[in-house]
């Protein structure tokens, strides 16, 4: 609005214009004022909103700040919790002694924890490398681990496996391996993570427990349980591959004596000696077991020839037979072995064992004071069956009183008169012949029937001597005793009872024992013989010269008569060696104060030879065979006439 100052009024028109201008100006101003007024209000209003907004914002900020503070506090706590939990986790890991590892399923790269490296005694890098190519796993474990890990990477299975690992110390140790794979949402395997735990100690304990359950404590060889298992294995292998295998049963011959004489420590040492020596002979694939006591068993696998098995047996005998020193004493043993071979000698393990056992008994029976082995044969079974039948028959014979005694006279070579008789048992057959005593006495001994039989012989012998005695005939009867009978505790009682029952003086009875009877236990023999002597019985050593013929024991025992075995007498006139032995026995007997009876005298020349050497008595077919008792009194009443041979036919 320029030039609004009042000017000098020129005209009405001018005034009018001016007025109009003024009017317009007024209105404009009014308008402006109104706009301003309007705008101010708007502004006010806007300001008002703004203020509100700011207040809201402030409030929001406050709220947010509060929220954030709360959130921050929360996250601090979470962090603390996490840390705590991590610490706990680490503690658990430390306590569990687990070593951690993971495999990237794509690259197969392995990462592992420091602890794992320590556990394996290897540098970290090497552990990772060896885990990656699985070379850290020993032997059979490796393929199993590989298969299980592959499976775990393909599915959500957990690996849980015991495995053997070659640790850096050079030894192999047992670990438990756990692992599981992490998959993404699409099912793609990302990584496989797991842990190793050292379980070596536990495995070792388990292994040693297993060892104890399957091995003999004393010798550390297999026990019966493991032996049975190995037999089954051998049989299965043979069924698959037609492999031939042998089983050997081995038994020590007089192990009890070793224990009794040298103590159990020596016995134990001897058992270990035997076990070790068998082990030294057989192959790794064979089995050596102690079945109990002094009984061992061996399984020989992959047999090609019978000669091989025999060679093994011979070596075992050779090595086991060597003496060992225990408490400064030399201790040794004889062994008996029986062999049975699959498939010829048995189709089942029990049959094979039974047959090897039979063969062993056969070996032992033949040679008790010598080591021996016997190979099973079906003939052996036949013999055993025969023996069993024989034992049954003997038992029945005793019950039915089928046995009888015959009596063979002994002559005084100077007077040619009977000085006594020897009772010899006879078992009549249906056809009138006799089963020879040599054929059934051993069976009676083995079958445990000898005591029963001997008791009958003693009673019968006493009864007969008493009959003669009552007739006024003093014919002493000598009774043969088997070694088994001789060791019987109540033997003197049996004689005492028999003498008393028959009212017979002891001098009318004699006993004939072999060297086998006394040699095993001199002390006991001495005791037994002294008791018999106290009853008045005469004691003869039978078959002298065939056994140990040891001079050392003879003078320690109360022996009155020595009988020279007929094997020497039969040859005295034509074999200088036999003559020398017989001569020596006569001299020895005389020096001990014993009288001599020559057995098996068959010729006049033999008798002449004996007479010349002052042998007191003779017995044999030259004089008379064993005769039924009824024939004896006649012979006893006369002097033997060399020309009259009737007596020879009499039996
Ligand atoms: P032994 O005790 O040596 O008995 C002597 C054996 O020689 C008897 O055989 C007898 O008949 C036989 N003999 C006798 N004179 C001669 C001879 O001039 N030449 C030959 N070649 N032989 C002769 P036997 O009766 O067969 O008895 C054999 C063995 O059986 C006996 O040998 C004895 O060991 C045992 N024995 C016999 N009877 C009994 C017995 O009652 N109890 C026991 N435990 N064993 C007996
Ligand atoms: Ca005899
Ligand atoms: Ca004899």
- Residue 64 is predicted with a pLDDT of 84
236 and 354 inside one domain:
yes
Q: How far apart are CA 340 and CA 352, in angstroms?
A: 6
End of a domain among 376, 399, 414? 376
Tell me if 26 is assigned to some domain: no
pLDDT band with cut points at 50, 70 and 90 for residue 489: confident
Task: Examine the domain organization and report whether 499 and 573 are in the same domain.
Answer: yes
Tokens of 586: 């006569």
Answer whether residue 417 is part of any domain: yes
Position 40 confidence tier, pLDDT thresholds 50, 70, 90: confident
pLDDT score for 646? 45
- What does the chain come to in residues? 651
The pair phi, psi for residue 568, each rounded to 5°, is -80, -45
- Report the distance separating Cα 163 and Cα 169, nearest Å: 17
> Coil, strand or helix: which one is 339?
strand
> CB–CB of 194/175 below 8 Å?
no
Residue 53 lies in a domain: no
Considering the domain architecture, whether residues 213 and 189 belong to the same structural domain is answered as no
The whole-number average pLDDT for the span 427-450 is 94
At residue 178, φ and ψ (nearest 5 deg) are -120, 140
- Does one domain contain both 524 and 626? yes
- Phi, psi of 386, rounded to the nearest 5 degrees: -65, -45
- Tell me if 11 is assigned to some domain: no
What mean pLDDT is predicted for residues 55-76? 84
Residue list, ligand 1 pocket, CB within 6 Å: 408, 423-425, 436-438, 441, 457, 480-482, 512, 542-543, 566, 600, 602, 620-621, 626
- Taking CA 271 as the corner, what is the angle to CA 268 and CA 272, rounded to the nearest 5 degrees? 90
The answer on 555 and 613 residing in a single domain is yes
pLDDT one-digit tens code per residue, 382-392: 988 898 999 99
Per-residue model confidence (pLDDT) at position 394 = 96
Q: Report if residue 540 sits inside a domain.
A: yes
Judgement on whether residues 274 and 352 belong to the same structural domain of the protein:
yes
Q: What confidence score (pLDDT) does residue 95 get?
A: 63
Whether residue 574 is found in the same domain as residue 462: yes
CA 536 to chain centre: 53
pLDDT for the residue 72: 84
Q: Which residue has the higher pLDDT, 117 or 95?
A: 117
Residue 647 lies in a domain: no
The CATH number of the domain where 287 resides is what?
Answer: 3.30.70.270
Question: Of all residues in the chain, what percent carry a pLDDT higher than 90?
Answer: 64
- Residue 10: is its pLDDT beyond 70? no
CA–CA gap between residue 572 and residue 99 (Å, rounded): 93
Give the pLDDT mean for 575-586: 95
What residues contact residue 387 under an 8 Å CB cut-off, 6+ apart? 443, 446, 447
Last residue of a domain, one of 198, 220, 235: 198
* Residue 397 in tokens: 């014979």
Residues 361 and 437 in one domain: no
Distance 457 CA to ligand 2 centre (A): 13
Q: What average pLDDT does range 315-335 have in this prediction? A: 91
Q: Considering 169, 198, 227, which residue would you say is the last residue of a domain?
A: 198
pLDDT of the residue at 42: 76
Q: Output the CA torsion 366→371→375→379 (10° steps).
A: 0
Q: Are residues 491 and 460 in the same domain?
A: yes
Handedness of CA 559, 561, 566, 569 (dihedral sign): positive
Q: Exposure pattern of 373-395 as b/e (b: 16+ CB <10 Å)?
A: bbbbbeebeeeeeeeeebbeebb
Which residue's alpha carbon is nearest to atom 14 within ligand 1?
620
Label residue 96 by pLDDT band (50, 70, 90). Answer: low
Burial pattern 322-354, b for ≥16 Cβ within 10 A else e, equals: eeeebeeeebebbbbbbbbbbeebbeebeebbb
Protein residue whose Cα sits closest to atom 23 of ligand 1: 600
CATH of the domain at 565: 3.20.20.450
Span from the CA of 643 to the centroid of ligand 3 (angstroms): 26
Total number of domains constituting the chain: 3
- For residue 642, tell me if it sits in a domain: no
Q: Cα separation of 167 and 651, whole Å?
A: 90
Shortest-distance atom of ligand 1 to CA 424: 38
pLDDT in tens, 66-86: 888 888 888 888 888 878 876
Residues 213 and 193 in one domain: no
The answer to whether residue 576 sits within a structural domain is yes
349 lies in the same domain as 464: no
| Residue 284, beta-bridge partner list | none
Distance 393 CA to ligand 2 centre (A): 24
Question: Which atom of ligand 1 is closest in space to residue 461's alpha carbon?
Answer: 41
CATH code of the domain containing 187: 3.30.450.20
Ligand 1 atom closest to residue 438's alpha carbon, by position in its atom list? 30
Q: Are 371 and 476 members of one domain?
A: no
Range of the domain at 128: 95-198
Give the sign of the dihedral formed by CA 574, CA 514, CA 550, CA 539.
negative
For atom 35 of ligand 1, which residue has the closest CA?
A: 437
Among all bound ligands, the one having the nearest atom to the CA of 511 is 2
Phi, psi (degrees; rounded to nearest 5) at 166: -85, 100
Ligand 3: distance of its center to the CA of 299 in Å?
44
Mean pLDDT of 570-582: 95
Rounded alpha-carbon distances, angstroms, from residue 40 to 25, 34, 47: 21, 10, 10
């Amino acid at each position: 609005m320029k030039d609004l100052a009042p000017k000098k009024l020129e005209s009405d028109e001018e005034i009018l214009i001016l007025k109009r201008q003024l009017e317009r100006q007024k209105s404009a101003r009014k308008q402006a004022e109104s706009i301003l007024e309007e705008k101010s209000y708007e502004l006010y209003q806007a300001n008002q909103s703004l203020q509100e907004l700011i207040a809201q914002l402030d409030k929001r900020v406050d709220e947010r700040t509060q929220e954030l503070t709360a959130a921050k506090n929360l996250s601090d706590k979470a962090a603390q919790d996490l840390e705590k939990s991590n610490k706990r986790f680490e503690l658990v890991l430390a306590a569990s002694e687990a070593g951690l590892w993971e495999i990237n399923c794509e690259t197969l790269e392995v990462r592992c924890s420091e602890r794992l490296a320590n556990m394996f005694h290897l540098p970290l890098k090497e552990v990772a490398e060896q885990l990656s190519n699985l070379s850290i796993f020993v032997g059979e474990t490796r393929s199993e681990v590989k298969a299980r890990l592959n499976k775990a990477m393909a599915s959500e299975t957990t690996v849980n496996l015991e495995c053997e690992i070659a640790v850096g110390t050079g030894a192999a140790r047992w670990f438990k391996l756990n692992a599981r794979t992490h998959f993404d949402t699409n099912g793609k395997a990302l990584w496989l993570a797991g842990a190793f735990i050292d379980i070596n100690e536990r495995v070792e304990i388990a292994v040693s427990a297993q060892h104890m359950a399957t091995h003999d404590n004393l010798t550390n060889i297999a026990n019966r349980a493991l032996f049975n298992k190995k037999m089954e294995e051998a049989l299965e292998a043979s069924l698959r591959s037609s492999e031939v295998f042998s089983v050997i049963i081995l038994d020590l011959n007089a192990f009890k004596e070793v224990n009794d004489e040298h103590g159990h420590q020596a016995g134990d040492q001897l058992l270990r000696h035997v076990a070790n020596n068998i082990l030294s002979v057989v192959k790794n694939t064979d089995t050596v077991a102690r079945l109990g006591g002094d009984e061992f068993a061996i399984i020989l696998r992959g047999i090609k020839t019978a000669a091989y098995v025999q060679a093994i047996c011979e070596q075992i005998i050779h090595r086991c037979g060597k003496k060992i020193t225990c408490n400064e004493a030399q201790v040794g043993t004889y062994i008996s072995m029986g062999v049975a071979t699959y498939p010829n000698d048995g189709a089942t393990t029990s049959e094979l064992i039974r047959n090897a056992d039979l063969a062993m008994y056969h070996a032992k029976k033949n040679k008790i004071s010598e080591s021996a082995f016997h190979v099973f044969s079906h003939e052996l079974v036949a013999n055993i069956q025969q023996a069993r039948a024989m034992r049954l028959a003997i038992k029945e014979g005793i019950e039915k009183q089928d046995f009888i005694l015959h009596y063979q006279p002994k002559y005084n070579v100077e007077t040619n008169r009977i000085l006594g008789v020897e009772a010899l048992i006879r078992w009549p057959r249906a056809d009138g012949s006799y089963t020879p005593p040599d054929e059934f006495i051993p069976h009676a001994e083995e079958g445990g029937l000898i005591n029963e039989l001997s008791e009958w012989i003693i009673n019968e012998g006493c009864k007969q001597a008493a009959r003669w005695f009552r007739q006024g005939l003093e014919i002493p009867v000598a009774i043969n005793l088997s070694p088994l009978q001789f060791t019987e505790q109540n033997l003197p009682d049996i004689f005492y009872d028999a003498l008393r029952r028959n009212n017979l003086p002891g001098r009318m009875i004699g006993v004939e024992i072999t060297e086998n009877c006394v040699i095993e236990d001199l002390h006991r023999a001495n005791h037994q013989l002294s008791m018999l002597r106290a009853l008045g019985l005469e004691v003869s050593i039978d078959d002298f010269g065939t056994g140990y013929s040891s001079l050392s024991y003879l003078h320690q025992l109360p022996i009155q008569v020595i009988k020279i075995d007929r094997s020497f007498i039969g040859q005295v006139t034509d074999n200088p060696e036999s003559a020398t032995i017989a001569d020596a026995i006569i001299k020895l007997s005389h020096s001990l104060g014993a009288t001599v009876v020559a057995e098996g005298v068959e010729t006049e020349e033999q008798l002449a030879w004996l007479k010349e050497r002052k042998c007191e008595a003779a017995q044999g077919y030259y004089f008379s065979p064993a005769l039924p008792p009824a024939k004896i009194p006649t012979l006893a009443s006369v002097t033997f006439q060399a020309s009259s041979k009737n007596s020879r036919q009499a039996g």
